Amino acid sequence: MKNVIAFIEHKNGAARRSSIEALCAARTAADALGGTVHAVVAGPQAVAVAAALKAYPVDRIHVLDDAALGKAGIDPLVDALESVARSAGPSLVIVANTMIGRDVGSRFAARVDAGVTADVTGIDVKDGRVACVSPKLGGTTITTCAFKNTEYGVAAIRPNVFPVAATAGAGEIAELAPSDKTYSVTVEDDVEEAAAELGVEEASVVVSGGRGMGGPEPFTGMLHDLAEAFGGAVGASRAAVDAGWISHGHQVGQTGKTISPPLYIAVGISGAIQHKVGMRTAATIVAINKDAGVPIADFADLLVVGDAFAIVPELTKLVREAKAAHA
């Protein structure tokens, strides 16, 4: 494995932030391996996405701009990645640890008989060998896995862990030839989640609500407003999701998403172990709870004791004022 390929997810002409993180992680790994960094961008508006990628440390950007791919599911994306990997030669492929990233990465791995490591928080390169660090069992165990297949390997990196370096590389554009395959899947409808632009996995600030919210309104009202003021996303405990106050895509925890944002704000959430395992690696944890003895106080950096319905709107006001003052 010498070169490193970052698979780029994008929407409406912009790359996802977690894919930019994958690209920058690719640079670090490629420098250690003595190889080059490739990016693969396929689908509608891929040319615009590729142009923006030139601001990042990538050597070659492989582009397949085809609006029809937006309706063809995952297979054409895997085809694009595979054709780049076959021409680049032995490579580490880095995808974001998202639904699409894991799907593309694992299908590609099956085609080239490579190993896949998911939820990767560190990539070590030693003597030309790549090993991936990833937390398991809710973060209680940290594993380091090397690839047996030394030709290809896939790492799905956890969003918000790898730093972004806005340093331009050669950024050479290479057009990919479209596949002549007929794909068996057609995407009939693409339903946009109304809640937030960013998913909880990618947001740098996540404002989560729990049973203490008492109903669905705070999720579209005060929690949404606070998340929006920060430019973040709304999360939830399972209690809130099970009550039908917000969709499962927002759930943080053992049976939801595992996230590591720089700032996590838990509002009316007690901090059960099944919730904790999904957010314990957040850099800073703030809890807002009316109970001073709530379990989340044991692992939060800051506990604000009081009624969330009084605190959250005040906090939103302060965040907006601070942002306006620094605009």
Ligand X SMILES: Cc1cc2nc3c(=O)[nH]c(=O)nc-3n(C[C@H](O)[C@H](O)[C@H](O)COP(=O)(O)OP(=O)(O)OC[C@H]3O[C@@H](n4cnc5c(N)ncnc54)[C@H](O)[C@@H]3O)c2cc1C
Give the one residue of 210, 218, 232, 261 binding ligand X; rule: CB under 6 A. Answer: 210
For position 274 contacting ligand X by CB under 6 A, the verdict is: yes
Give the one residue of 270, 285, 286, 316 binding ligand X; rule: CB under 6 A. Answer: 270
For residues 321 and 144, what is the distance between their CA atoms, to the nearest angstrom? 44
Give the one residue of 286, 308, 315, 316 binding ligand X; rule: CB under 6 A. Answer: 308
Lookup: tokens for 74: 């995952």
For position 106 contacting ligand X by CB under 6 A, the verdict is: no
Give the one residue of 91, 98, 121, 289 binding ligand X; rule: CB under 6 A. Answer: 289
For position 258 contacting ligand X by CB under 6 A, the verdict is: no
Cβ proximity to ligand X: between 154 and 269 the closer is 269
Burial 269-280 (b: 16+ CB within 10 A, else e): bbbbeebbbbbb
For residues 258 and 235, what is the distance between their CA atoms, to the nearest angstrom? 11
For position 237 contacting ligand X by CB under 6 A, the verdict is: yes
The distance of closest approach from Cβ of residue 101 to ligand X in the complex, given in angstroms and rounded to an integer, is 21
Lookup: tokens for 6: 């970052």
For residues 271 and 287, what is the distance between their CA atoms, to the nearest angstrom? 9
Cβ proximity to ligand X: between 102 and 290 the closer is 290
For residues 299 and 287, what is the distance between their CA atoms, to the nearest angstrom? 10
Q: Which stretch binds ligand X (CB under 6 A): 45-53, 82-90, 101-109, 265-273?
A: 265-273
Pairing verdict, β 122-126 and 129-136:
antiparallel
Cβ proximity to ligand X: between 48 and 272 the closer is 272
Give the one residue of 57, 169, 212, 261 binding ligand X; rule: CB under 6 A. Answer: 212
The beta-carbon contacts of 303-312 under 8 Å, at least 24 apart in sequence, are: 308/212, 308/213, 308/218, 308/222, 308/267, 308/268, 309/218, 309/222, 312/218, 312/222, 312/223, 312/225, 312/226, 312/267, 312/288
For position 238 contacting ligand X by CB under 6 A, the verdict is: yes
Cβ proximity to ligand X: between 7 and 219 the closer is 219
- Which residues are near ligand X by CB under 6 A? 210-212, 237-240, 251-256, 268-270, 272, 274-275, 278, 288-291, 294, 307-309
